[in-house]
Amino acid sequence: MNDKLKILLVEDDPQLGFVVQDGLEQNGYFVTHCLNGELAWEAFLTGVYSIVLLDVMMPIMDGISLTAKIREKDSHIPIIMLTAKGMQEDKIMGFNAGADDYLVKPFSIEELLLRIQVFLKRNKKSEVNVAQGLMKLGKYQFHYEHMELILGDKVMRLTRKEGELLRMLIAQQGKLIKRETLLVKIWGKDDYFYGRSMDVYISRIRKYLKEDTSIEISNYHGTGFMLLIKE
């Protein structure tokens, strides 16, 4: 079932990389294993992948820098960080750079497979069920299918998470959406690090919408967010 799905694995520990690659390939995935961020960036530019798994601490180009570069090219591909236990700042920096999830070492192949399957199913569902057409938001139009926010001749390309957040805010315009609801629906669970990541994405969305002062995303501290269009 998974023989056409390609995974880019970036891990500088050859032994761990071999174990992870072997486990994934035994479950039907095709895996390209790179030992540093620079080699992985070259592989990403020349290949087509369904998901990226990357270590945070790597030589030549670290995982945070690699994540940021990948996000400049592709806003949709799922990126899962492989982090050392207790490295909280790495997780936060990774989410800020555009990572979608994290796994703390040591982890089991079974857990990794479950995380991968969740993202692949979520992407497939989005492809099938995406609403066609444009959503109006003040002076803006939002094209969810293409993840584009349009203002006149200006087109801004959103990341997948930014687009999903904005879609949910528009759909519930004028209503308070709880933080845990957004986190569970978009990130898969209510988690401290995901919450920090969501706050960054909300800040970015506010910047995208700054040309229309009638649009406001209110933060109800510790509770949730509400999108309002002021008359």
| % of the chain residues with pLDDT over 90 | 49
Q: Give me the pLDDT at residue 226, please.
A: 93
Rounded Cα distance, 204 and 202, in Å: 5
pTM given for the model = 0.64
**Domain-embedded: residue 1:** no
Q: With 60 as the cut, is the pLDDT of residue 131 above it?
A: no
Give 6's strand partners.
30
Residues 162 and 200 in one domain: yes
Residues 122 and 147 in one domain: no
Rounded Cα distance, 210 and 212, in Å: 5
Sort residue 60 into left (φ over 0), alpha (ψ -120 to 50) or beta.
Answer: left
Rounded Cα distance, 166 and 144, in Å: 9
φ/ψ (deg, to 5) at 223: -115, -55
Q: Give me the pLDDT at residue 132, please.
A: 47
**What angle separates helix 14-26 from helix 109-129, to the nearest 10 degrees?**
60
We report the CATH number of the domain holding residue 219 as 1.10.10.10
Q: Give me the pLDDT at residue 3, please.
A: 47
Residues 11 and 88 in one domain: yes
* Structural domain boundaries, residue 90: 6-128
Q: Give me the pLDDT at residue 129, please.
A: 40
Average pLDDT over residues 145-149: 86
Helix (H, G, I), strand (E, B) or coil at 35: coil
**Domain-embedded: residue 82:** yes
Q: Give me the pLDDT at residue 231, please.
A: 67
Q: With 60 as the cut, is the pLDDT of residue 1 above it?
A: no
Q: With 50 as the cut, is the pLDDT of residue 126 above it?
A: no
Domain end among 104, 128, 152: 128
pLDDT tens digits, residue range 10-39? 999 999 999 999 999 999 999 999 999 999
β-pairing verdict for 79-83 and 6-10: unpaired
Average pLDDT over residues 82-106: 84
Average pLDDT over residues 133-148: 85
Strands across the sheet with 30-34, in order?
30-34, 6-10, 51-55, 79-83, 101-104
Domain end among 128, 145, 163: 128
Domain end among 128, 147, 177: 128
Residues 16 and 122 in one domain: yes
We report the CATH number of the domain holding residue 91 as 3.40.50.2300
Residues 63 and 167 in one domain: no
Q: Give me the pLDDT at residue 44, please.
A: 93
Residues 96 and 155 in one domain: no
- Written as one string, the DSSP assignment of 99-167 is --EEEESS--HHHHHHHHHHHHHHHHHHHHHPPPS-EEETTEEEETTTTEEEETTEEEEPPHHHHHHHH
User: Given pLDDT bands bounded at 50, 70 and 90, which one contains residue 124?
Assistant: low
Average pLDDT over residues 110-133: 68
Number of domains present in the structure of the chain: 2
